[in-house]
Homo-oligomer: A and B are copies of this chain.
């Protein structure tokens, strides 16, 4: 457990920021330094993330170098990158001293190959080995999430011996709630919860009280599934093993919380074509090119919709009211479809949706779509009939809305599942694919029916 500064409960990043900005404006670095020195690394990280790049850099240079290492792991990926780019190797090595192996590995993985090699070779032998064990695994696996600071004991010891062994430590690794029980070959056998150590007769052996129900996590297990296990079973730490069941390290809940936060943000950001790691205060030269790609893709889909409309130029020329009403059909389909899409994408992220229940879900969405289509298409028909004093256009928009809302429900339910089946991220591609469908079907059905009716 790290210690917040006193006054933490009262801390408001926005107030601190205003004060900091004022102090920076008045040009007195000393005031800013003094303010920063009263804050915890976590609050400093939050202020850095809430600052535009120029101010961020000034704040970083005013920061006590002693505390830099504690602030770095608290920063999000992009902000960390940006700040690392301003540091030299020596500074980095100094900052990383005393950090957990997984935090160091995270930082190193963001550096260019050459710099990473330099930093590694400047580290002490022991630290380097510790870090290299974590670096061996993909960032998005249990191995990439783990720390190596485990305390392990043998099953044949008595609790009394374990207690005396622990008392030889200055302190235990943070968040330690279990000791790991391993055999002679360092293979994982079970857990010894600290609470059991404290409540059981010390003359008993570890083997008699250890918990063997919890399976260790394989090092190559994906991080989002690790998070799901922690959430399900309220774990605080869990052991990580290699393919021979040898204990490699442990995962702690604080790192899992970060995974949960990122996973949950992923759907939200992806639906708008953004990355969940995106820095809120990224400069224009970073945001503009990324957004450009997304806008370009959307321009293509919009052009497709225009091409459909173009097929019916003649009809629109005859009945101009069609041009007035056609966006309504497309828009209602888009809104209805995005509701279905969001429910399905969230359900998939929670692991709730698969082949066995997809057809039920599709039926439910269809049922819901039919009811709402009846309600709103009739309402719209009445409005159109009065507005343009034309019952044909009323019938046409009613029929087109029913067609498009039903299509939207089917597309919203099927698209994400189909995209995932071909390994495309449904959160990223689903929204664009969906509006393409609802735009094309919306314009096609409305203008097609009109061409037929008014022919």
A-B contact pairs, 12 of them (CB 8 A): A8-B233, A49-B350, A166-B199, A174-B234, A194-B194, A194-B195, A231-B257, A272-B339, A280-B346, A292-B375, A294-B335, A299-B376
A330 proximity list for chain B (CB < 8 A)? 327
Contact, CB under 8 Å: B18 / A281: no
Q: Which of A57-65, A105-113, A128-136, A262-270 contacts B (4 or more CB under 8 A)?
A: A262-270
Contact, CB under 8 Å: B235 / A280: no
Q: Which of A29-37, A207-215, A243-251 contacts B (4 or more CB under 8 A)?
A: A207-215
A306 contacts B by Cβ under 8 Å: yes
Contact, CB under 8 Å: A50 / B306: no
A299 to chain B, nearest CB (A): 6
Contact, CB under 8 Å: B327 / A320: no
CB closest chain-B residue, reference A265: B264
Given that A264-B261, A302-B327, A352-B280 are contacting pairs, would A8 and B234 also be in contact in the complex, using a CB cutoff of 8 Å? no
Contact, CB under 8 Å: B221 / A356: no
A167 proximity list for chain B (CB < 8 A)? 198-201
CB closest chain-B residue, reference A234: B254
- Which single member of B3, B52, B271, B313 contacts A268 (CB below 8 Å)? B271
* Stoichiometry (number of copies): 2
A371 proximity list for chain B (CB < 8 A)? 284, 288, 292
Contact, CB under 8 Å: A1 / B284: no
Interface size class of A (residues with CB under 8 A): 35 or more
Q: Which of A84-92, A116-124, A180-188, A357-365 contacts B (4 or more CB under 8 A)?
A: A357-365
A429 contacts B by Cβ under 8 Å: no
A141 contacts B by Cβ under 8 Å: no
Contact, CB under 8 Å: B233 / A353: no
A43 contacts B by Cβ under 8 Å: yes
A325 proximity list for chain B (CB < 8 A)? 306
A98 contacts B by Cβ under 8 Å: no
- Which single member of B316, B350, B375 contacts A280 (CB below 8 Å)? B350
